[in-house]
Structure 1
Amino acid sequence: MKKLIILLMYFIFISCSQKEGCMDSSACNFDDKAENDDSSCTYSEEYYDCDSNCLFDENLNGICDELEILGCTDLNACNYNENATEDDGLCSYPEPNYDCDGNCLSYNYECGDCEYTFFTEVPHSINILSGNNCFKNQDLDVINQIISLNNLDYNSPLEVGTQTWYDGRLRIWIAGNYFSGVNVPLDTLPENFGNLDDLRSLYLEWNNIKVMPESFENLTNLISLYFSNNGLTNIINNIGNLTELYNLDLGYNEIKTIPNSFAELTNLQYLWLFNNQIETLPNGFCNLNINWSEMDPAWYPYFAIGGNELCENIPECILNSSHFESSLDQFYYSFLVEMPQNCED
């Protein structure tokens, strides 16, 4: 019995002499000297280390990437999200002179109509033929889209090119890449471009615009369109909708085909298609009311189509035209140049 008591006391002594502590190596208080786990292990919260620092925080804002909430963080936006921790770039705002619910704020609006915006001052490049400093939002929105899409450095849509307005609508817009225009090349036109439906004259020369938006078909009041030197590759299928067109300059582009509706441009008097890649012309092309071979009093041709690839099945009116292989000099359009069709291949 005495020996049993001594042995029991020995085991108690041995047990009491073992160091207790946390023996889980993944715990924050892991003790590598502990010999007996005392269930005291503590662990970091999910997504954090033991010092309460985020394991992943790419933008270093103190919020772990896994806990970030994307949303609009602008208090002035219609879709502001008070729970968002990181802006998603998708903030939306009310239209000018409207609140977020689409209600008109006419009580503090100079023009008395939410469809227009009043400008206290306008640039010298603005010509107002009739009306006051109220400009239709429908037109301003298109120009703002152009500013955004092309990353232009303008503070107001009224600063873009030379503009002529009539009763709040844009009538003439000079937006070519030169001094009186935008003076910086445009690459893209927005799909809502057709909302400029009161436009009468449009100048877009010397830009880098490759595609004519389909909404161009809505420019039914357009009389003059100057779209040369752009690298333009297409003409919209419904160009025939532009029945008021009188002047059309599409020279020095990369156009390959002419749509069938082209024959519906019955008011067209000047048509310049030189220096493109046109291979064929649509049926009815000769029905256009154009003087195919004559010059106007200023010695400009009414028609010229040199420098294309018209080699076979050429309509008689074109083949017999004095300007079948004529072009204008590229930079100033000041004199005729001979430009044969490219039929080498």
Structure 2
Amino acid sequence: MKPEQMEALRIDGSHGEGGGQILRSALTLSAITQKPIKIENIRHNRKIPGLRPSHLSTIKILGKICNAKIDGLSVGSTSITFSPGQIQDIKLQENVGTAGSISLILQAIIPAVALAGKKLELSISGGTDVPWSPTSNYTKFVLGEAFLRLGIKFEMNIKKRGYYPKGGGQIDLTVFPCRKLIPIHLSKRTTKNVKILCSFSGLNQNEISNSIASAKDVLQKQGFSTQSQITEDRALNPGASFLMYSHDSDSINGADELFDPKEEFGKNSTSAFVSSNFGADTNLSDMLVTPLALIREMSIFTVQQISTHLETNLYITSKITGCKYGVGKINSGYEIRITGLETSI
């Protein structure tokens, strides 16, 4: 049966964190599984309910990629129907406007394209490092590593930084077809090797360097070995992004933040990174769920806490794909087990 002939699966957009996460995850899974969906009560619990311009960008771009029929696509809309068509190899050039988050858009479209076995070449302008969103370095070096282990490969060139409020950054992205999804087991961080990446524009270089030195000092006192790279980039307005990350065979962890003149740059990320020795960091955990829900073998990872985004993604993936998952309490954290169904895709 063609997607347009199927009855749309109804999804309550107010569930869990009740924001943009449930929207992005549902749309991605709709495109992958070719199941039409109707999302209602979009951002019901937010101060300004309904779709915002940043959400429209994600929906429009994903709609182009999978030739979707979309109803309710307007700012303020609290209900949309998304009926996906076939995904094809495609080249796109997009501008999300001002500082709309490119990273959040990429979260939705990368797995959709790769798991359809297609290739995407995308040049996209907007916000590369903005509040309430992963930094572009996190997307490239942390999410990129996690997806690669799953069999999802993408290349990302950060050509120009775009900070809030003006944006104007540019990223060139290539997503490659995924031939086979691979289950993962991320149990505990054992490496003591950490990389720090910092990009800044229009700020005092000495202040930035001192912040990185402070972060390295904290890490070294905890027994970590550090490598750091500071890059001054051009941007439309001042800003800076900080990423600390590590990889080993049993873990992928990262912590990032943006420059805030009211706080010590990098302090929060350093504290978060040091305090967690689990298989995945809190932010990565929810990003893993969508592809893991489509693998019939069991995947297991540990995480320090169950975020509302993780809870939301576990809910929405099980609703759309029928995957099974379990959450177990372990010492100071949680273990997540996910098994997809052979018929998921």
TM-score relative to the length of structure 2: 0.23
Give the number of the structure whose alpha-carbon radius of gyration is greater: 1
With structure 1 as the length reference, what TM-score do the two structures score? Answer: 0.23
Higher helix share: 2
Which protein has the bigger strand share? 2
Q: Which has the higher contact order (CA 8 A, sep 6+)?
A: 2
